[in-house]
Amino acid sequence: MSTRLQYNLTREREARRRQQELSDLMAARQIQDVWNQEDKLANRRQEEQDKIIALKVTCPICLEQFVNPKAVIYCGHTICGSCFEAYCKTSMKNEQIQCHYYRCLLLIPVFTQPSCSSIRFHSD
């Protein structure tokens, strides 16, 4: 075999080896990109779940974490006990108050005195 032929074969093998390495690197990069996308998606999902949890434990009136949470039985929305008391004092009209969220009317039973304590609620 001539030296020139050996040289060309060696160059061809080296070119194929480099091409294979490049192909392997590109495949590894694609796998890494997929993993990064999956991580970003997982992080986004976790952030969304954290927001949902925060909404469930945050009073919509004072925007703080619930303190002595109360759920108004008629509509099921939850607010802090102290916020509920203050809301009743400021929002009561004709023995009725409106839900702080949907503004639906909540009737206070007629047989009790019209006060916030006469509205039935329960602790969560």
Q: What is the pLDDT of residues 65-107, one digit of tens each?
A: 887 877 665 677 778 888 878 887 777 776 677 777 766 666 6
Q: What is the pTM of this model?
A: 0.41
Are residue 6 and residue 27 in the same domain, yes or no?
Answer: yes
Residue 107: its pLDDT value, please? 60
Are residue 16 and residue 43 in the same domain, yes or no?
Answer: yes
pLDDT tens, position by position, 15-64: 999 999 999 999 999 999 999 999 999 999 999 988 887 777 888 888 88
Are residue 78 and residue 114 in the same domain, yes or no?
Answer: yes
For 41, other C-beta atoms within 10 Å of its C-beta total 10
Are residue 43 and residue 12 in the same domain, yes or no?
Answer: yes
Query: Which strands make up the sheet holding 121-123, listed edge to edge?
Result: 78-80, 69-72, 121-123
Question: Could you tell me the two tokens for 54?
Answer: 């925060």
Q: Assess if residue 34 is contained within a domain.
A: yes
Q: Assess if residue 28 is contained within a domain.
A: yes
Expressed as residue numbers, the domain containing 100 is 69-123
Residue 112: its pLDDT value, please? 38
Residue 9: its pLDDT value, please? 86
Are residue 5 and residue 45 in the same domain, yes or no?
Answer: yes
Are residue 12 and residue 43 in the same domain, yes or no?
Answer: yes
Coil vs helix vs strand at 55: helix
Q: Indicate the number of domains in the chain.
A: 2
